[in-house]
Structure 1
Amino acid sequence: MIDVNNSNQQRNKFYTRVLIGYAFAIFCFFLLFCRLWVLQISRHDGLSKSADKNRIAIVPIPSKRGEIFDRNGEVLACNSYTYKIDIIPAIAGNLKDILEKLEPIMCFNQNDIRNLKKKISETNGYKPITICNKLDAYKASWFAAHYFNFPGLELKARLLREYPNKDLAAHVLGYVGKISDKELENLEKTGKIGNYRGSDLIGKKGIEKVYEEILHGRAGLDELEITVTGRPVRKIRSIDPIAGSDIFLSIDIKLQKIAEEVFGDRKGSLVAINPSNGEVLALVSKPSFNPNLFVDGIDPESWNYLNNSLDCPLINRALHGTYPIGSTYKPFIALAALELGKKKASDEIFDPGYFEFKGHRFRNPGSVAYGIVNMNKAIVVSSDTYFYSLGLDIDVDILHDFVKQFGFGQITGIDLDGEKRGILPSTDWKYNRYKDKKLQKWYTGDTISLMVGQGYNSFTILQLAQATATLANDGIYRKPHIAIKMRNCQDDFVKIAIDDSINIPLKRDNISFIKNAMIEVAHFGTAKKSFQSAPYLVAGKTGTAQVYSLKGGRYCTDNINENLRDHAMFIGFAPADNPKIAVSIIVENAGWGSKEAAPIARKIFDYWLLQQKYNDR
């Protein structure tokens, strides 16, 4: 007999289980629906972009860097074609076999192989990796002829920055080099990193650095569809790169070459400026260096030499070196005395070969006595005694404010990096410079030393050239500059804007007096051996700047280490009646300015005023 109650209980349990199963299935479908809602609707835009990123690859196309030319169109920095070999690891196969096959044209050491393996391990296998980035035409042709033996390897042409004149004008041009981590971080902060995708070079020094944004151009890109493994399928779109603009400099490379050759192996600096517009015609810093060494990464041996050399070839002496300028300061001191009403040009003193103040004797070089001297004679024969005496008449702070107008101790703002301010002394400067209260006080003896360009004075050769150009231009200050125009990729020329000139309020009679005294220096005074036969009129001033104090002793070249010997200096402009060029020159540790620096100026003037005119005809 069947138990009806038991049968009903089993049926009820079965229905209950079915209902629970249905409920669980519905609940699962509900969760799935909610998830699909989130993926397909709520997060659709974000996930779609992520999918595109997985499907689309952006391949940057580097722009062609602008070239650099001198004022006459001579090439100073250009791009030359060279070749590189890229490997696609997923296609190429065994790396060891490939490198063995490439032995006829290149050699890999163990360090190269380790670095290459590391780069390969960090990619998806389809990203090209450069295994050689500087192949000449012969090696490139060999590879092209054997290309069928190298699946997964590609030969590509690339642009290489080149400086055809090597170390000539290197401190003006600067150089490009591989982007450092610090520079990369700065590009990211400034939002410029996208423009450097696909490029690993950036301007490091000189014009290459200052005008980096103009020279670099704008990178392009290819947008590619790729598989999940990274293999390209098709090109979706392409944006062409925009080449950087060419830059034309005020530098005359022929004048620059003459100036550097005249220095020979001597250390020093020269700056030549056109007084009428502030264009820098030549800028020399000796010794120099070859900027080509830095383009693909400098080798350790060359870097150690350049970085550790006692001659400091990497330092731009014209902008970064600061010096006492000796007697080349005297024309500006004399002009200050006239303008400030502290001295008349006709006032005379007796020069016994020294100036005595409170028991201390400030001597002329060699203790030469010039007898009765006025301002004109004092400039022509370079009487230290006369100028020492002005230290009792001219207040140091008033002098500071006067010569500051000519650019002494100021940043000129030239379009090169690394410019130093130097030191234009004043009572405030000395007070802030020293912590010891005894050293903070300004003494009359300090002022006396300044009158002959010594003491705390410390200026750059650029500042001295700028002051000389301003004097030649009758007190009209024009900002020194090197880049004068640029040419964009449409071949349109654009002039580079320069700041307006500044007129220093000077009396014409005083300027004429100083100029005439400097003409006598060049043709009848301390520089006459260099200029007495010149077919043009020169205004100049020689100088000999002490490197260290003799403390009353006598100067003897043979008894002094070379690096402690006096610097030879010269400033001048020509033609004196219509200046076309102004120069300042220092030959380090060379001695007398009349013997070592003035002859350099003569060769510079001869080329610019005579030979260049002949060439133009």
Structure 2
Amino acid sequence: MADVAFETLLFNRRALIAFGFILLCFGILIANLYNLQVLRYEEYSTRADGNRIKLVPLSPNRGMIFDRRGTLLAENAPVHSIELVPEQVPDLHAAVEQIAAIIEITPEQKADFFKEVKAQRRFKSIALKELLTEQEVARLAVHLHHLKGVTLEARLTRHYPYGDLLTHGLGYIGKINDKEFKQIEENGQSPNYAATRDIGKIGIEKYYEAQLHGTVGFQEVEVNNRGRVIRTLREQPAVSGDDLYLTLDLGLQLKAQEALGENRGAIVAMDPRTGGILAFYSNPSYDPNLFVHGISGKDYRMLLNSPDRPLVNRMTQGVYPPASTVKPLMAVAGLEAGVVTEHTRVPDPGFYRLPKVSRPWRDHIKWGHGYVDVYTGIIKSCDTYFYDLAYKMGVDRISDFMQKAGYGHLSGIDIGEETSGLMPSREWKKVRRKQNWGPGDTINIGIGQGYWQSTPLQIALTTATLINDGARITPRLGESFRNKEQQTSLLQPKEQVIEVINPQNWAIAREAMYRTVLEGGTAHGAFIGATYTAGGKTGTAQVINIAAGVKYKASNINERHRDNALFVGYAPHDKPEIVISVIVENVASGGGGTNAAPVARQLMDYYFSPQYDAPQLPDRATVQKIQAERAAAMIAREQRYAEEAAREKAAKALAAQKASQNKADTNAGPAPANTETGTDNVPARSQPQNAAPVIPTPEPENLPAPQLDEEGQQQSQQQNGNNPTGTNGGGRL
């Protein structure tokens, strides 16, 4: 009995311990369940939702761009693409081959895709092929459910209906590269670009990227275990970017293209009252649509290596000696400095000599102009008058005045592709050239030659400063941003930059410019029969040095080494509404009066005609036809250049062979002139200069604007048309 009682007690004790242990386990389970379901419900609920609920960013529609009258210049066109998300695709190579069996995928497209895969993050969707046709979309839609991580995307992308007409102003968009993505992250904007693939690369598209881009939206969607969307739970729509209205007038821009024709050069037309750019044309140009989806290596190399330099924005990056277009401003500077008066007369026998210097600086008229006052000096473009004026003023006062007017500085225009040019000074030459400034350097800048480098925009802008009695305006392509709620103006107020002792000095220069086109001046022939009053100044800038005593003859010179023709003018004379700056490169004969002024006349005629207020714009088929013709002309020009270069090379080889046979010194020639006694550094032999800046070789996907050094020149140290010291007869008209 005792054993039974003991065993019963032992059993009960063990049962109690076991029961307690079971209760403890259940307690732990219940406590843990309470922790999971009550205390940490939010955390685990969120994790669970994260496995089946995704936030899908929604790309905002980019703001569209219009001209001043509301004509669409940059639109958003629908396109389809096949895209893959690398982290969702088990075997990328196999997936690509599967897609290639359904639609055509070129080897180049495959290579670009895998290159992009390495560059981008694996959770980002990457396009294998864009611009799909309707047939390709239909084929892919049938097979899409078999392809994990592959989607058929429809989106809006940029399209520029007028092609190369507006490229250097509008710019273009392209795929975001690593450098740009890093900058976006540094600016804290990466969430806003979560669904964005493209970004403004150059021009207006880049400058106003923040306003044009818009604000990202999102969809909260439920997905299955394969990542497919089952349903949309909620949505926050993206906010479209603001529409941008430009100051550009499309009709006037088309007229600029027509007037310049196949000539290389640039045209800037602006409103001197507001700074609004009315026309902004650089030729040759290129179709920006090539860059939107990624330009091919072949096409990019063709643009990059073209001797015509279509990638260069000649209005703001092309640097040229301003030549005689600066004479009206130079006259104001001289009048203000008191070195001349309205009635001062300077003898012009056809040349000018510095004190104690025997060699002459010649006028463009070898027999001279007789006694010349400030009016005749501008009207007839008398070099001798301005040689004398510059010598009396000195470089310090000239450089100071011209920098205030706008030379040697960025204009502030709302695109990033701009060079400051070069307004030379005593200090500049000492630092950059390691030489002292000489009197010859001074009289060269008196006629806008020598070291002086400017852009067509600067020439227009400084003329507007003259018209506005020393008040400078900031040039603007953007007129206003508009959305459903408001309109924001982008135009800037005038700023007085030059205070003069006698305001009448501005009027004297304007009167001379008026008479230049009115009474036998250098631009008179171009404005015969005009129904409006106008003022202007012609100029001709040399591209190569011509030895002393040698007469310039364009037909004997390689086309790319011929003179550049310039003109700047305004109208009406009493209350100017428009200023036009024109540069025509490498003209076959004549100067600014016969080549550039007629171009400006065509634009002014259009501006003051009834057609300007009711323009008849070409349809898109006509625009495409014009583009094709212009592209063919550019190819023909390049072939002509190649032939000229071959002839030049053969001639040099023959000359070298003869020189070797005769044991002559191939480097013989006049020694460089002494800059201390009054000349620029003139090479012993003519040194050809390019008619447009040389650009470095960027990557096609990035395509940065050409970079120039602080002298306004390309970093290769070639410059566009640097002029010698009057050895060919001085500055021409």
Superposition TM-score, scaled by structure 1 size: 0.86
Residue 461 of structure 1, aligned match among 431, 456, 465: 456
Corresponding position of 2:372: 373
How many pairs are equivalent?
Answer: 592
Corresponding position of 1:484: 479
- C-alpha change, 1:286 and 1:124, in structure 2 (3 Å) is closer
Residue 498 of structure 1, aligned match among 489, 492, 496: 492
Code of the aligned partner of 2:221: L
Residue-by-residue CA offset, 1:138-165 (whole Å, 9 max, x unaligned): 655x54xx95565457655321211000
Determine the C-alpha separation between the residues in 2 that align with 1:35 and 1:421. 72
Displacement of 1:51: 5.5
Determine the C-alpha separation between the residues in 1 that align with 2:44 and 2:120. 24
Determine the C-alpha separation between the residues in 2 that align with 1:416 and 1:279. 13
- C-alpha change, 1:479 and 1:37, in structure 2 (3 Å) is same
- C-alpha change, 1:83 and 1:387, in structure 2 (3 Å) is same
Mapping of 1:411-450 within 5 angstroms? 411-434=410-433, 436=434, 439=435, 441-450=436-445
Determine the C-alpha separation between the residues in 2 that align with 1:313 and 1:344. 45
Secondary structure (helix, strand or coil) at the match of 2:164 reads coil
Corresponding position of 1:539: 535
Corresponding position of 1:519: 514
Secondary structure (helix, strand or coil) at the match of 2:353 reads strand
Residue 178 of structure 2, aligned match among 181, 184, 194: 181
Displacement of 1:130: 4.8
Residue-by-residue CA offset, 1:470-495 (whole Å, 9 max, x unaligned): 2223332221111111122x264332
Deviates more, 1:292-301 or 1:364-373: 364-373
Displacement of 1:311: 1.3
Contact 1:572/1:583 (8 A) holds in 2: yes
Displacement of 1:228: 5.1
Displacement of 1:123: 13
Determine the C-alpha separation between the residues in 1 that align with 2:120 and 2:383. 72
2:553 maps to 1:559: no
RMSD: 3.9
Determine the C-alpha separation between the residues in 2 that align with 1:127 and 1:326. 54
Unaligned runs of 5+ in 1: 1-20
Corresponding position of 2:685: none
Residue-by-residue CA offset, 1:306-352 (whole Å, 9 max, x unaligned): 11111111111111111111111111111111111110121112111
Contact 2:571/2:604 (8 A) holds in 1: yes
Contact 1:98/1:150 (8 A) holds in 2: no
Secondary structure (helix, strand or coil) at the match of 1:543 reads strand
Displacement of 1:273: 0.8
Determine the C-alpha separation between the residues in 2 that align with 1:566 and 1:121. 50
Mapping of 1:63-82 within 5 angstroms? 63-82=60-79
Residue-by-residue CA offset, 1:405-458 (whole Å, 9 max, x unaligned): 221111111101111111111222222223x3xx1x121111111100011111
Q: Identity over the aligned pairs, expressed in percent? A: 38
Residue-by-residue CA offset, 1:576-615 (whole Å, 9 max, x unaligned): 1111100111111215111110100100100001244563
Contact 1:90/1:125 (8 A) holds in 2: no
Code of the aligned partner of 1:390: L
Contact 2:81/2:131 (8 A) holds in 1: yes
Displacement of 1:188: 1.0
Determine the C-alpha separation between the residues in 2 that align with 1:574 and 1:459. 23
- C-alpha change, 1:117 and 1:594, in structure 2 (3 Å) is closer
Contact 1:92/1:151 (8 A) holds in 2: no
Code of the aligned partner of 1:207: I
Code of the aligned partner of 1:373: V
Superposition TM-score, scaled by structure 2 size: 0.73
Deviates more, 1:245-254 or 1:360-369: 360-369
Code of the aligned partner of 1:505: E
Residue-by-residue CA offset, 1:76-102 (whole Å, 9 max, x unaligned): 100112333457988999858964773
Secondary structure (helix, strand or coil) at the match of 1:447 reads helix
Displacement of 1:298: 0.7
2:305 maps to 1:308: yes
Displacement of 1:127: 9.3
Secondary structure (helix, strand or coil) at the match of 1:445 reads helix
2:549 maps to 1:550: no
Displacement of 1:255: 0.5
Code of the aligned partner of 1:532: I
Displacement of 1:55: 4.3
Q: Which has the higher strand share?
A: 1
- C-alpha change, 1:481 and 1:127, in structure 2 (3 Å) is closer
Determine the C-alpha separation between the residues in 1 that align with 2:270 and 2:75. 25
- C-alpha change, 1:90 and 1:452, in structure 2 (3 Å) is closer
Greater RCO, 1 or 2 (C-alpha within 8 Å, sep 6+): 2
Determine the C-alpha separation between the residues in 1 that align with 2:583 and 2:120. 55
Displacement of 1:53: 4.1
Corresponding position of 1:207: 204
Displacement of 1:129: 6.6
- C-alpha change, 1:558 and 1:577, in structure 2 (3 Å) is same
Contact 2:476/2:491 (8 A) holds in 1: no
- C-alpha change, 1:565 and 1:616, in structure 2 (3 Å) is closer
Corresponding position of 1:13: none
Secondary structure (helix, strand or coil) at the match of 1:319 reads coil
Determine the C-alpha separation between the residues in 1 that align with 2:167 and 2:111. 35
Determine the C-alpha separation between the residues in 2 that align with 1:353 and 1:44. 97
Code of the aligned partner of 1:518: M
Determine the C-alpha separation between the residues in 2 that align with 1:474 and 1:152. 73
Determine the C-alpha separation between the residues in 2 that align with 1:118 and 1:308. 25
Unaligned runs of 5+ in 2: 1-17, 617-733
Corresponding position of 2:635: none
Residue 318 of structure 2, aligned match among 318, 321, 324: 321
Determine the C-alpha separation between the residues in 1 that align with 2:449 and 2:250. 34
Determine the C-alpha separation between the residues in 2 that align with 1:25 and 1:446. 105
Residue 353 of structure 1, aligned match among 341, 347, 350: 350
